[in-house]
């Protein structure tokens, strides 16, 4: 049974192997990254971010993403996007056989400087040829806007600044724009206003919600934007994640929590909760970490042994 006013189906984009593992103090080995992605594939996720082709000096945790792409068991119909900040990253992604890339910009000047060492305008200049060349080579391109509901350095961010960057990303051919609440400070009214501003220029079906859960608001924010028609949600297994250039940012909203919410609303995802819990158990055991989400904890605790 679907819920009136909400999408019938939501596409879940798993970002744990990238957003999650980029933030681990000790880089996670390639075999574990592959093991996690294969288990997430088995859970029925339609899109799994496999890593990044960024400078290993900036984010050593994402080194060897080429080996990860070479080792995973790719399933037909599943996308395995990788982050790419520049032409050099695109070349490496192409060599590694990536079929989808994501360029990542920000609505905050200070965050852009800290994260990719250039202004917002410079980043867009840099992304445009990358997006063009990627599309020429048959790759799909996704775009990210960070700090859509607040910046760790500047505080409040105007929705109009988010809409400007989102429009530029769409203009250069991004098929989807993922709106990142990088530090998880947003609340539902703000999320709704931000999405309404962006959706004044772009179809809401082009938008994805990428909400970190630092302040415990992510599920409420997601429910608010689902009501506006957003039907793509980024989340992270056992709530892993953060951004090395956003101090204090904790994990993305946990995949298990989002799936429980969507299942309860009768929204289809094609994702299997038991297989997801198994993937979470695998990476949690490797990292020595309990799930941050409530659903994984509750379902694991209540499971007959």
Which CB sits closer to ligand HMG, 111 or 260?
111
Residues whose CB falls within 8 Å of the CB of residue 117, separated by 6 or more in sequence, listed in order: none
Query: Quick check: is 174 catalytic?
Result: no
Residues whose CB falls within 8 Å of the CB of residue 241, separated by 6 or more in sequence, listed in order: 15, 16, 19, 20, 22, 23, 212, 250, 251, 252
As a whole number of angstroms, the distance between CA 11 and CA 230 comes to 10
What element of type H or E holds 121? helix 120-136
- The residue from 13, 37, 51, 52 that contacts ligand HMG (CB under 6 A) is 52
**HEC string for 263-288:** HHCCCECCCCHHHHHHHHHHHHHHHC
- The residue from 29, 70, 73, 88 that contacts ligand HMG (CB under 6 A) is 88
61 binds ligand HMG, rule: CB under 6 A:
no
Compute the C-alpha angle 209/213/214, nearest 5°. Answer: 135
213 binds Mg ion, rule: CB under 5 A:
no
String of contacts with ligand HMG for each residue 234-253, x by CB under 6 A: ---------x-x--------
194, two tokens: 């931000």
- Report which residue's Cβ sits closest to Mg ion: 19
85 binds ligand HMG, rule: CB under 6 A:
yes
Stretch that binds Mg ion, among 18-26, 150-158, 260-268, 279-287 (CB under 5 A): 18-26
- The residue from 10, 12, 18, 19 that contacts Mg ion (CB under 5 A) is 19
Residues whose CB falls within 8 Å of the CB of residue 90, separated by 6 or more in sequence, listed in order: 53, 84, 101, 130, 133, 134
284 binds ligand HMG, rule: CB under 6 A:
no
100 binds ligand HMG, rule: CB under 6 A:
no
Which partner in ligand HMG, Mg ion, none is near 169 (CB below 5 to 8 A by kind)?
none
Write out the residues near Mg ion by the rule CB under 5 A: 19
């Amino acid at each position: 049974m679907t819920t009136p006013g909400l999408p019938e189906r939501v596409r879940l984009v798993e970002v744990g192997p990238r957003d999650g593992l980029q933030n681990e103090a000790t880089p996670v080995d390639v075999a574990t990254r592959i093991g996690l992605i294969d288990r997430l594939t088995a859970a029925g996720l339609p899109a799994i971010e496999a890593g990044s082709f960024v400078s290993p000096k900036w984010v050593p945790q994402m080194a060897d993403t080429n080996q990860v792409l070479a080792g995973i068991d790719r399933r037909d119909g599943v996308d395995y996007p990788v982050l790419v900040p520049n032409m050099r990253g695109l070349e490496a992604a192409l060599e590694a056989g990536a079929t989808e890339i994501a360029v990542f910009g920000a609505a905050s000047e200070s965050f852009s400087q800290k994260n990719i060492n250039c202004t917002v305008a410079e980043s867009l200049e840099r992304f445009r040829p990358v997006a063009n060349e990627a599309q020429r080579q048959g790759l799909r391109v996704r775009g990210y806007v960070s700090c859509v509901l607040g910046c760790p350095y500047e505080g409040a961010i105007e929705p109009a600044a988010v809409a400007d960057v989102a429009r530029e990303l769409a203009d250069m051919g991004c098929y989807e724009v993922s709106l990142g609440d990088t530090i998880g400070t947003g609340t539902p009214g703000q999320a709704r206003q931000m999405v309404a501003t962006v959706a004044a220029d772009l179809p809401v079906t082009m938008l994805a919600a990428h909400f970190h859960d630092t302040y415990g608001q992510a599920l409420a924010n997601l429910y608010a934007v689902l009501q506006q028609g957003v039907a793509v949600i980024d989340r992270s297994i056992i709530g892993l994640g953060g951004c090395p250039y956003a101090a204090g940012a904790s994990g993305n909203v946990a995949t298990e929590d989002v799936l429980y919410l969507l299942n309860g609303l009768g929204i289809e995802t094609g994702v299997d909760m038991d297989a997801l819990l198994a993937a979470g158990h695998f990476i949690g055991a490797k990292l020595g970490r309990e799930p941050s989400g409530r659903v994984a904890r509750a379902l694991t605790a209540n499971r007959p042994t």
